[in-house]
Structure 1
Amino acid sequence: MILYFSGTGNSEYVAKRIAEETDDGIVNLFEKIRNHDFSKLHSDCPWVIVSPTYAWRIPRILQQWLEKTAFSGNSGIYYVMTCGGSIGNSGKYLRKLSASKHMKDLGCFSIVMPENYIAMFSTPEKEAALHTIHQAEAAIDKASHMIKNGKPFPHQTLTLTDKINSSIVNSIFYPMFVHAKKFYAKDTCISCGKCADVCPMHNIRLENGKPVWGKDCTHCMACISRCPREAIEYGKHSEGKPRYTCPIKINR
């Protein structure tokens, strides 16, 4: 069974592509995470977790959900991580997670997708995004083939930078940068409530027709990226930058 979490659509696209290639079931974890639903799941096939990369590890909200949810049936588990450049030493921490759940870790696979972290980096225009996705197709096919044939993913070649990014930098990054203080809505906001609907943390509410952010932000960028009027900004950094959501949709 394929389980995925996605803020702007990259991991959703990869998960659905893998589902097509492996003919496996697929579950969007958005509502489960949002509603703190930790009910047991069962699969006769190996588990495949498809996740974005947040500071060179899987998102902490996904980590917490995986820790609290019981899996029955097949004990094998794959991790597929979408990223803008590198997943660092994520595999080390995922192996620990697998061991804590008494599951057989079948490896971690990285797939470079279009950059979506508008809070810190530049996001691509549609044509550039489509080019990056086209380049990612071979990696998606490779991961799918190994999953379908029950082969473990190959070990990553790690650098000292990878190890530092996934440990020290990740530990510093979350408390220093992962907050909602810089989000605000411009006068072009139409009070549609889309931002609140797409927040996996229930962290956005409307007051006098305008969104107000709480303290429970995971920096998934769903609110700023999915606003139909591009009325949300993240300080000055997002000004003038294209809003990114995966331009290719797969119905499944």
Structure 2
Amino acid sequence: MSTIIYYFTGTGNSLNCARSIGNLLEDTTLVAMQAAGEETVFPEADSIGLVFPVYAFGLPGAVKRFMKRLSCKNKGKYIFAAATSGGRVAGALVLARRMLRARGLRLSAGYSVVMPTNMILLHETSEEKKKILFDSMEKKVIEIASAVKSHEYHAVETGSMSDRILRTGILYRSASPFVKKLDHLFKADQGCIGCGLCSQLCPAHNIEMKNGIPVWKHQCEMCLSCLNLCPKEAIQYGSMTEGKQRYKNPYVEVKDLMCR
């Protein structure tokens, strides 16, 4: 039985999760959502997986755009989703289910996978907590893979009603139109060596190097790959990140995250 897993990732959590699921399944192909092109996507596999992070208690823009292009000749195709987050899935999987339904597709199973956060603007995760979360992720991955193998249906996992209404229904819907321009606070400090890695990592192709300095073009996903993965920790977000520990998923190589 074949499976194709489409993933979107910034600093590696969702790729790590997608790989871990795929390793427990037979005949699995992993494809980055942004590498799937701009045309309608018609997967031929028996099962389709969608693995993505939760941003602002909802879906990243790139994930929404991908879902709008996803189509299947067999409308009963088994589709599962895993939403990685730092702790609050809120209504992200409900939004995914709704978007698939608009395409005539059914989300057969939806899982919340808690992992260390990369949102260092607001939170940092201790090394001890990271180990606990990765151990927990592996257990959740076994549950997901087992369900996928048997095409088991599973109600989408959600946060509390207040999370769904206040955080996803109000905060996310209010903030999402402005995400692209939130990059106006990114800057390269004096430690920047002009290596261009941030530009190569950006899944939105939002960073251009000009005279050896990164320039953000206001098409941001706020995945924070540029900030977290800069080898000199020279990218800052206003004054919110100076001196803070950067985050990269330890099970993913930087080269695996490069988009060009």
TM-score (norm 1): 0.90
Cα RMSD after superposing both structures:
2.3
Distance 1:209 1:249 in 2: 27
Gap change, CA 1:148 and 1:167, over 3 Å in 2: same
Which moved further from structure 2: 228-237 or 38-47? 38-47
User: Which secondary structure does the structure 1 equivalent of 2:46 belong to?
Assistant: coil
Gaps of 5+ in 2: none
Query: Any unmatched runs of 5+ in structure 1?
Result: none
- C-alpha deviation, 1:31, in angstroms: 4.3
Counterpart for residue 64 of structure 1:
65
Tell me the matched-pair count.
249
Identity of matched residues, %? 27
When normalised by structure 2's length, the TM-score is 0.87
What residue number does 1:54 align with? 55
Give me the whole-angstrom Cα distance separating, in 2, the residues matched to 1:15 and 1:91: 16
Following the alignment from structure 2 to structure 1, what is the Cα–Cα distance between the partners of residues 240 and 146?
40
Map Cα deviations across residues 120-148 of structure 1 (whole Å, 9 max, x no partner): x2233555423321122111111111111
- Report the CA distance between 1:42 and its aligned residue: 2.2
Q: How far apart are residue 170 of structure 1 and its match?
A: 0.3
Tell me the alpha carbon deviations over residues 94-124 of structure 1, each in whole angstroms, 9 at most, x when there is no partner.
22212122112213210000011123x2233
Aligned counterpart in structure 2 of residue 92 of structure 1, from 87, 91, 94 = 94
Q: 1:225 aligns with which of 206, 225, 228?
A: 228
Task: Give secondary structure in 2 for the equivalent of 1:42.
Answer: coil
Query: 2:244 matched to which residue of 1?
Result: 241
* Equivalent of residue 22 in structure 1, options 12, 20, 25: 25
In 2, Cα distance between the equivalents of 1:30 and 1:105? 17
Q: Residue in 2 aligned with 1:144?
A: 145
Say if 2:45 is the partner of 1:32.
Answer: no
Does the CA contact (< 8 Å) of 1:125 and 1:242 recur in 2?
Answer: no
Query: For residues 1-252 of structure 1, what are the structure 2 equivalents within 5 Å?
Result: 1-29=4-32, 31-32=34-35, 36-72=37-73, 75-119=77-121, 121-156=122-157, 158-175=160-177, 179-249=182-252
